[in-house]
Amino acid sequence: MKFEQDSDSLPDVRATMRSPGDAAIARVGSTQKKRVSGIARMRGFAAAVLACASLVGCASSTHVIAGDKPGTYTVAASATGGRMAWARAHELAMNEARDYCEQRGMQSSVSMETVSGVAAMTEHASSVDFECHPRF
């Protein structure tokens, strides 16, 4: 039987060999890293969801109210949450006016709009005075 000796020395071989305990420790360390990574991902996801929710905010509108003159109406809407809340308030008020007139077979015509609130994270509002006219 011929025995061939590798060029690796005994200290080199010991350095590259691992005991079964080393593998278990490596698996535990890897599992903990995965858990930490998963928790970090979940925290990031939760933060992203909260950020989106704060940007979306809430919006509400009043019922359409008859104005001083016959055939004139007013509707108000408000929105909170973010810099673009005024746009949601405006859109909601305009949609309410349009829907009100369309339910009567007419089209809306805005005569005046009043907006308030410009600072971020405050309530923004839009009040729309409008008329309903027959469709042409």
Q: Which two tokens stand for residue 16?
A: 């590259």
* pLDDT 10s digits, 52-100: 445 456 777 888 999 888 889 999 999 987 777 888 899 999 999 999 9
pLDDT digits (tens, 9 = 90+) for 12-48: 545 555 555 555 555 555 555 555 566 666 676 555 4
* Cα–Cα dist 72/112, whole Å: 11
- Measured CA to CA, the distance from residue 124 to residue 116 in angstroms comes to 6
What are the residue boundaries of the structural domains of the chain, listed by start?
10-56, 59-134
